[in-house]
Amino acid sequence: MVEALGASPRFYWLGAWHKGIYILKKLTTGPLVKTKNFFAELKRRKVYRVAIAYAVLSWLLIQIATQVFPFFEIPMWAVRLVVLLLALGFPVALLLAWAFDLTPEGIKRTDDLDGMLEQKAASNARSTRAAPVGPPEKSIAVLPFENFSDDLQNVYFADGIQDDILSSLAKVADLKVISRTSVRQYRTGTRNLREIGQELGVAYILEGTVRRVGDRVRINAQLIDARTDLHIWNDTYDREITDLFAFQSELARRITFALRANLSPRERESLQLHPTADLAAYELFLRARDLFRWSGSGDPRENSECALRLLGEAIERDPQFALAHCLASRVHGELYWFGYDRSRARLTLAKIAGDNALRLQPDLGDARLALAYYYYFGYRDYELARTELAIAQQATPNDAEVWDAAGAIDRRQGRWEDAVLNFEKAKELDPRNSSVLWNLGETYACVGRYEEAQRVFAEGLAVNPEAHLFALARAAIDLQTKGETAPLRVALRSVPPDFDPGGAVTTVALRVSLIEGDSAEGARLLGASRSEKYNDSGVGGPAMNFDGYTLPRAWYEGLVARGRGEQDAAERAFAVAQRRVEADLAQWSDDPKATALMGLVQAARGRKEEAIRAGRRAVELLPISTDAFDGPLLTTKLAVIYAQVGEVDLALQLLAGLMQMPNGPTAGTLRVEPEWEALRGDPRFDELVSAVAAA
């Protein structure tokens, strides 16, 4: 039957098809089409459907014509006419499909319909924003159990019960479980469960009481719907101390059942696992972990060393205590990373502890997290760290620290959007964790989201009013954006005199006095401080940001003396500072921050070649391509060196690129930081600052 049609119908079909496609392509080059993908637009406008339907209908009509027309002795030219008309109608059908849509209200132009849909979507979005979003149905916070024992030392015993239940639930991927840091503040005081549920973003709350007498313990636990204050269940348990962990597994199973959580076989098995059978070792671990958690207050080095002593005691009591080995690995890693002990011996201790934990409990998410930090802190091996984090995330999907670590690695690799998302996820799981809030606020500031940064820093201060570094970080946003130091002055006055962890507050105060040119105040600050080394919290401008390296006192003495015009005293102080840095480099020759400070010291002493060589070496040790967070800060130090030794062109060349990068110099800091004094008055520098300020 096809042969009877001859070649002409096929020719007409082919020609009509190409004609239709040509016309459609011409249409898609106009303003009617907002998408670059032509074929995607065809699909969206249902042109494909119309083409297929038309082809099927045409084939049916042609079959009818070829079968029925001869029966009625209708001439063959009539069959050809039908084929021709159908072929000519094909591009018309496509054009109509492109331009119009069939709706319940009748036929409407597609562009008009798009506008209606956009308006409806915008209206729905406004309604969604206006309507409060409830917490996920399968979400829970386990509040600290109240200690009803006569012995106040049993507080950690009560914490241990809550902690083990929480740790078990955190392994269930189908649940949202708020991390321990965010619930610990509810240990004391009157509890309004509805408000707590809203603050933490959960539907359910578990709370309870513990009374320990000798070797027996009575526990009351109640699961409550935080949205309605309805008690799901409320039970009292009397147990021997030896049965305590079995009871905690039972309680975790009851909670997952009540919340209708789906459990994988691995998750069911994990609910039966417990960190240790030695309650005294567990209490030592909890005390060490409290010291390890950064809260914005306390001396990090002293806390870490005390935590290691407690962990040593816990491991001595129970050498199989894998969680204690994990935490020991993390503490060793942080002592190395933050510059308190950059020895390879310290790094080796971190690896040994992490390997021990993994050997004892191969499926432990905390062990994988510890090893991820080892590869990250020790070698900046981001990909290997990510591999460990992926395993940790699968083992403990509700562990905010895993998401926090992922965000930290993201920003080192320049994946700033991913970093923000991961830090925001960590905050969702642990909304009152000071470390998470600091990292999120810091990252917002790096990418220029300053209002959000100030909001998060304010949250950190509200969570822990004694964490005064949050107040300083919030005030420093005005320094970055406007070059104003007055808010920092106000924040510094609000800090109690005895709050100066590692000299971090003194560092900020010295920085403000140097920016304002008040060297007399700088001298008073140094006179009132007994520290020989000063932590840098990263607050006070990128030109002298040495977060992760403790600066020698002599460095600041040299800067203050130079500001007062006392050149001989400044030279003596800088010579002492150089010896201090040389001692650090003798131990850790590849430390980029110590190398950068050496360059600055050499520049301050007028040794141009040595200064440039050290500055360039620091950038080689840690280029921006290797670390998008610290890399720009080190390159900024090189620009400072260039500016101070008279290489103005090189300094401006570096600044032009740095000011386009996250965590680089800002218009506000360039206006006021004394390190750029040599560039001020140069039209190129002024133009650069103005251009960035206007962006």
Phi, psi (degrees; rounded to nearest 5) at 448: 85, 15
Single out the residue in 257, 286, 312 at which a domain terminates. 257
Which H or E element spans position 534?
Answer: strand 533-534
Query: What's the rounded mean pLDDT across residues 297-307?
Result: 83
Does 645 lie in the same domain as 526?
yes
Give me the pLDDT at residue 28, please: 44
Single out the residue in 229, 257, 285 at which a domain terminates. 257
- Work out the burial of residue 660: count CB atoms within 10 Å of its CB; fewer than 13 is exposed, 13-18 middle, 19 or more buried: exposed
Q: Is the pLDDT reported for residue 594 higher than 50?
A: yes
Residues 6+ apart with CB under 8 A from 78: 65, 69
**Could you report the per-residue pLDDT of 274-285, keeping only the tens digit for each?**
788 888 898 899
Query: What's the rounded mean pLDDT across residues 192-214?
Result: 89
Dihedral angle over CA of 293, 294, 298, 302, nearest 10: 60
pLDDT band at 27 (very low <50, low <70, confident <90, very high): very low
Query: What's the rounded mean pLDDT across residues 235-244?
Result: 81
pLDDT band at 6 (very low <50, low <70, confident <90, very high): very low
**What is d(CA 456, CA 14) in angstroms, rounded to the nearest whole number?**
63
pLDDT band at 131 (very low <50, low <70, confident <90, very high): very low
Q: Is the pLDDT reported for residue 267 higher than 90?
A: no
Which of 10-24, 496-510, 612-626 is predicted most confidently? 612-626
**What is d(CA 329, CA 336) in angstroms, rounded to the nearest whole number?**
11
Give me the pLDDT at residue 638, please: 97
Does 534 lie in the same domain as 672?
yes
Give me the pLDDT at residue 233, please: 86
Does 644 lie in the same domain as 566?
yes
Structure tokens at 285: 């671990």
Single out the residue in 225, 257, 289 at which a domain terminates. 257
Identify whether 627 is part of a domain.
yes
Does 228 lie in the same domain as 119?
no
Q: Is the pLDDT reported for residue 23 higher than 50?
A: no
pLDDT-wise least confident of 3-7, 213-217, 344-348? 3-7
**What is d(CA 474, CA 407) in angstroms, rounded to the nearest whole number?**
21
pLDDT-wise least confident of 257-266, 412-421, 583-592, 646-655? 257-266
Domains: count for the chain: 3
User: What is the average pLDDT value for the chain, to the nearest integer?
Assistant: 85
**Could you report the per-residue pLDDT of 643-691, keeping only the tens digit for each?**
999 999 999 999 999 998 999 999 999 999 999 999 998 999 999 888 8
Does 535 lie in the same domain as 570?
yes
Identify whether 562 is part of a domain.
yes
Does 572 lie in the same domain as 670?
yes
Q: Is the pLDDT reported for residue 117 higher than 60?
A: no
Identify whether 533 is part of a domain.
yes
Q: Is the pLDDT reported for residue 393 higher than 60?
A: yes
8-state DSSP, 102: E
Does 172 lie in the same domain as 25?
no
- The domain in which residue 6 lies consists of 2-130
Identify whether 635 is part of a domain.
yes
**Which CATH number characterizes residue 660's domain?**
1.25.40
Dihedral angle over CA of 100, 102, 108, 110, nearest 10: -40
Identify whether 376 is part of a domain.
no
pLDDT-wise least confident of 85-94, 285-294, 349-358, 685-694? 85-94
Identify whether 497 is part of a domain.
no
Query: What's the rounded mean pLDDT across residues 161-176?
Result: 87
Identify whether 270 is part of a domain.
no
Identify whether 20 is part of a domain.
yes
**What is d(CA 89, CA 548) in angstroms, rounded to the nearest whole number?**
74
**Which CATH number characterizes residue 171's domain?**
3.40.50.10610
Q: Is the pLDDT reported for residue 19 higher than 70?
A: no
Instruction: Tell me the helices (H) and strands (E) count for the chain, helix number first.
Output: 33, 10
The answer to whether 509 and 479 have CB atoms below 8 angstroms apart is no
Does 654 lie in the same domain as 571?
yes
Does 644 lie in the same domain as 579?
yes
Which of 20-29, 379-388, 526-535 is predicted most confidently? 379-388
Structure tokens at 328: 């020991």
Does 532 lie in the same domain as 573?
yes
**Could you report the per-residue pLDDT of 485-538, keeping only the tens digit for each?**
999 999 999 999 989 988 999 999 999 999 999 999 999 999 999 889 998 888
Does 58 lie in the same domain as 162?
no
Give me the pLDDT at residue 150, please: 65
Concatenating the DSSP letter of every residue in 46-78 gives THHHHHHHHHHHHHHHHHHHHHHTGGGT--HHH
Does 64 lie in the same domain as 10?
yes
